[in-house]
């Protein structure tokens, strides 16, 4: 009874999936040995995240098999990587896809292929179960993330006007998923100021509205509203018109999609293959990775675009690509904290917390009884300069972040330390493209997106922000453009030389 010496249960854990060492090796361009073998493929895909895997899926689906996908990490999936323990599978980052609207043609095609969309019906068990989201504010939980309790008449008025404005923007058809479909030069002015400035000009900046709009920017872009282009802020709200109560989600998040993609194209994927040089050789390309030189006619560069100047011989440095650093953690709970009269939700957010809250990996279980779970904790380091936050990520040890996470959760779960047995933490220095002011209409970005050479770019950052649908769209488009240029080329052939 509290009179014994205070001692918390030991919590195990470590940093996982660190990749900055490899990133720094690339940046410094040092320590790579010359290739010892040659492999020939018509197409080499660089990067095994959603963009790269979508290129592979598209090529394979069109009957084209003379390609290889090179992934730097042990595990493909990029931001959609997942983990698994004795309790459940869980996501490492991306954990849902909003129910795609009619304009997301390729995503719908993928989901039909994966059995998520059948005869126009979304598979019920892949839609997020009730209750979906909850927000902790003023000492209690409410259903939904948009604040609904304790609003002043001014807050209500601002929310209503925001909704009206969003409705107008949606009706223009210029804000779509994927963004390229609707992008119109008539909206360029919105890319010239920050979302925060736009909201202020519209007098939609009460404390509560400000929290909510900032939360949305942190959630989708890893940035505050003042570091987000107004165009992107509006895109967040206006681009989606779900036809079903979603989103789509799985215990392992978008890792489920990666698993299904790997079932289809896994045999083309080479993991632990860090590409360190791409150069033009006559009419073709040479791609160096590990001990192999891949000779190809085309490269689909699906890795984050900021890496390209370090890899592609003769490529000019890039200026318009900025990325938000993130930290995610998976917490193993071998008992559930007291939930004070609310049903645990899929996504739990705490107002006034600098973090984005947590997602419950067992929420999508079909079981009725759950007594252990895994929470995925999300923290976009949105305040301050990305470079400084990246330094912070690197400099602080696991214990520092563990304590920061537990402190944050203790606000709403005072007994959290008695429930958690393990915290694994993933640090992602360049987690998401940040759609800062000017990023959407950046000439650099738009030129790379429609590059006509033998290197085609496919990462989601070519849309200015990192979401699943954009990655998938870019990946599929790059594959289609390659296919149109290699028409007639058939199945694969690989020659090896000692």
Partner 1 sequence: MGIGSALSRYIDRGLAYRFVWIELLLGVIGGFSSALLFLAFAYTQGFQLLMYALVIVIGTLVGLEIPLLMRIVRDRYQFRDVVAHVLTFDYLGALGASLLFPILLVPYLGLVRSAMLFGIVNVLVALWSTFLFAKQLASVRALRIICVVMLCGLGIGLAQAKRITIAAEDNIYADEIIFARDTRYQHIVLTRFKDDIRLFLSSHLQFSSRDEYRYHEALIHPGLSAVPAPRRVLVLGGGDGLAVREILKYPQIESIRLVDLDPEMTRLFSTHPMLTALNQKSFLSPKVHVTNADAFPWVDSNTESFDFIVIDFPDPTNYSLGKLYTTAFYRAAARHLSAQGLMVVQSTSPMFARDSFWCIAETLKQAGLKTFPYHVYVPSFGEWGFVIASFREYQLPTSLPQGLRFVSVNGLPALFQFPPDMSPLPMPPNRLNDQVLVRAYDQDWKDISH
Residues lying near partner 1 in the complex (CB under 8 A) are found at 1-2, 124-125, 127-132, 244-246, 343, 365-371
Q: Between residues 252 and 424, which has the closer beta carbon with respect to partner 1?
A: 252
DSSP category for residue 194: B
Q: Least Å distance between CB 333 and partner 1? A: 16
**Are the C-beta atoms of residues 461 and 446 closer than 8 Å to each other?**
no
Q: Least Å distance between CB 93 and partner 1? A: 23
Closest CA relative to residue 333, chosen from 364, 366, 367, 376 = 376
- Cα-Cα end-to-end distance for the chain: 71
Three-state secondary structure of 340-384: CCCCCCCEEEECCCCCCCEEEHHHHCCCCCCCCEEEEEEEECCCC
Q: Between residues 1 and 30, which has the closer beta carbon with respect to partner 1?
A: 1
Q: Least Å distance between CB 332 and partner 1? A: 19
Q: Least Å distance between CB 343 and partner 1? A: 5
373: left (phi over 0), alpha (psi -120 to 50) or beta: beta
Q: Between residues 245 and 407, which has the closer beta carbon with respect to partner 1?
A: 245
Q: Least Å distance between CB 116 and partner 1? A: 13
Separation between Cα atoms, residue 463 and residue 178, nearest integer Å? 8
Q: Between residues 284 and 344, which has the closer beta carbon with respect to partner 1?
A: 344
Name the token pair of 70.
Answer: 């090179």
Q: Least Å distance between CB 360 and partner 1? A: 12
Q: Between residues 36 and 125, which has the closer beta carbon with respect to partner 1?
A: 125
Beta strands 82-84 and 323-333 are: unpaired
Beta-carbon contacts of residue 95 (< 8 Å; ≥ 6 apart)? 249, 253, 254, 359, 376
Q: Least Å distance between CB 145 and partner 1? A: 16
Q: Between residues 99 and 216, which has the closer beta carbon with respect to partner 1?
A: 99
Q: Between residues 368 and 491, which has the closer beta carbon with respect to partner 1?
A: 368
Q: At 391, is the secondary structure helix, strand, or coil? A: helix
CA dihedral 224, 227, 231, 236 (to 10 degrees): -20
């Amino acid at each position: 009874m509290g009179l014994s010496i205070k001692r918390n249960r030991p919590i195990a854990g470590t940093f996982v999936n660190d990749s900055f060492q490899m990133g720094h090796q690339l940046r410094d361009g040092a320590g790579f040995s010359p290739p010892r073998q040659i492999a020939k493929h018509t197409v080499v895909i660089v990067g095994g995240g959603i963009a790269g895997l979508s290129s592979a899926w598209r090529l394979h689906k069109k009957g084209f098999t003379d390609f290889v996908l090179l992934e730097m990490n042990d595990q493909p999936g990029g931001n959609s990587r997942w983990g698994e323990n004795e309790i459940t599978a869980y996501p490492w980052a991306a954990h849902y896809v909003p129910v795609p609207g009619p304009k997301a043609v390729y995503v719908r095609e993928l989901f039909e292929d994966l059995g998520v969309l059948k005869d126009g019906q979304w598979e019920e068990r892949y839609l997020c179960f009730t209750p979906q989201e909850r927000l902790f504010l003023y000492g209690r939980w409410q259903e939904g993330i948009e604040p609904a309790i304790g609003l002043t008449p001014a807050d209500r008025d601002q929310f209503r006007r925001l909704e009206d404005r969003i409705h107008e923007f949606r009706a223009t058809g210029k804000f779509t998923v994927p963004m390229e479909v609707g992008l119109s030069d008539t909206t360029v002015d919105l890319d010239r100021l920050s979302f925060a400035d736009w909201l202020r000009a519209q007098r939609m900046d009460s404390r509560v509205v400000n929290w909510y709009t900032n939360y949305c920017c942190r959630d989708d872009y890893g940035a505050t509203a003042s570091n987000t282009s107004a165009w992107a802020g509006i895109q967040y709200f206006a681009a989606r018109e779900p036809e079903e109560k979603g989103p789509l989600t799985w215990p392992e998040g978008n890792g489920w999609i990666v698993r299904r993609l790997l079932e289809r194209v896994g045999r083309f994927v080479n993991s632990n293959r860090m590409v360190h040089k791409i150069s033009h050789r006559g009419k073709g390309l040479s791609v160096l990775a590990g001990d192999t030189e891949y000779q190809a006619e085309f490269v689909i560069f699906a890795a984050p675009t900021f890496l390209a100047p370090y890899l592609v011989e003769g490529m000019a440095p890039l200026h318009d690509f900025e990325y938000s650093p993130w930290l995610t953690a998976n917490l193993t709970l071998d008992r559930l904290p007291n939930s004070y009269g609310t049903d645990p939700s899929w996504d739990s957010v705490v107002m006034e917390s600098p973090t984005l809250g947590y997602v419950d990996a067992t929420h999508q279980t079909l079981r009725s009884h759950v007594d252990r779970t895994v929470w995925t904790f999300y923290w976009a380091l949105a305040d301050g300069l990305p470079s400084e936050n990246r330094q912070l990520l690197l400099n602080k040890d696991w214990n520092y972040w563990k304590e920061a996470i537990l402190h944050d959760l203790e606000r709403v779960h005072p007994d959290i330390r008695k429930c958690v047995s393990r915290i694994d933490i993933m640090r992602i220095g360049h987690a998401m493209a940040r759609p800062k002011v000017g990023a959407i209409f950046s000439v650099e970005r738009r030129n790379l997106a429609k590059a006509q050479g033998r290197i085609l770019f496919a990462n989601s950052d070519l849309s200015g922000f990192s979401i699943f649908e954009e990655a998938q769209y870019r990946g599929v488009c790059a594959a289609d453009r390659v296919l149109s240029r290699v028409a007639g080329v058939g199945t694969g052939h690989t020659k090896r030389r000692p």
